[in-house]
Structure 1
């Protein structure tokens, strides 16, 4: 369980890093931006499903309030991310690239913070579960 979650976190960070590098460009490289956004979306969906189906049920007895909070914040972030993706179509990226670069930075910061939060809370609980087994 821990190995899979670590791999999902690593994949998410890789996608965030790729998008961050692209966002430093003065002109948008639309195909690459779209690919990076898609990669981040896919790994985020897989990670959310894995957390809900496997991780949370296995460890929530150790810290029910903390897991409930993490779940709630995760849903809020996914909704915000969906709205961001919906708003920023390829045409919108092309037209308003400077604005996207600024807004995207905030989301990337939030995604990294979410991953750190998951690592700080979930990794020790997964290790605790291993020891209890």
Structure 2
């Protein structure tokens, strides 16, 4: 469980880093930005499903309030991310690249913070679960 979650976190960070590099250039490279956004979306969906189906049920008895908060914040983050993706079509990216660069930075910061939060809470709980087994 821990290995898979770490792998999903690593994949998410890799995608975030790729998007960050693309967002740093003066002119949008739309195909590459779209591919990076898609990769982040896919790994986020897989990670969320894994958390909901396997991780949270396995560890929530150790910290029910913390897991409930993580779930709530995760759902809110996914909704915000969905809205961001809908808002920023290829044509919008082309027309308003500098605005996207600014807004995207905030989302990337939030995604990294979410991963750190999951790591800080869930990794110790998964290790505790291993010891209890």
Q: CA separation in 2, counterparts of 1:50 and 1:98?
A: 35
Matches within 5 A, 1:45-124: 45-124=45-124
Displacement over 6 Å in runs of 4+: none
Task: Give the alignment of 1:34-45 within 5 angstroms.
Answer: 34-45=34-45
Displacement of 1:71: 0.2
Alpha-carbon shift at residue 37 of structure 1 (Å) = 0.1
Matching residue of 1:32: 32
Aligned residues: 133
RMSD over equivalenced CA pairs, Å: 0.2
Counterpart-to-counterpart distance in 2, 1:121 and 1:97: 36
CA distance in 2, matches of 1:112, 1:73: 14
Q: CA deviation at 1:28?
A: 0.2
With structure 2 as the length reference, what TM-score do the two structures score?
1.00
- The CA deviation at 1:127 is 0.1
**Cross-structure match for 2:15:** 15
| 1:27 CA displacement | 0.1
Deviation at residue 13 of structure 1 after TM alignment: 0.1
What TM-score comes out, normalization by structure 1 length? 1.00
**Distance between the aligned counterparts of 2:53 and 2:84, measured in 1?**
26
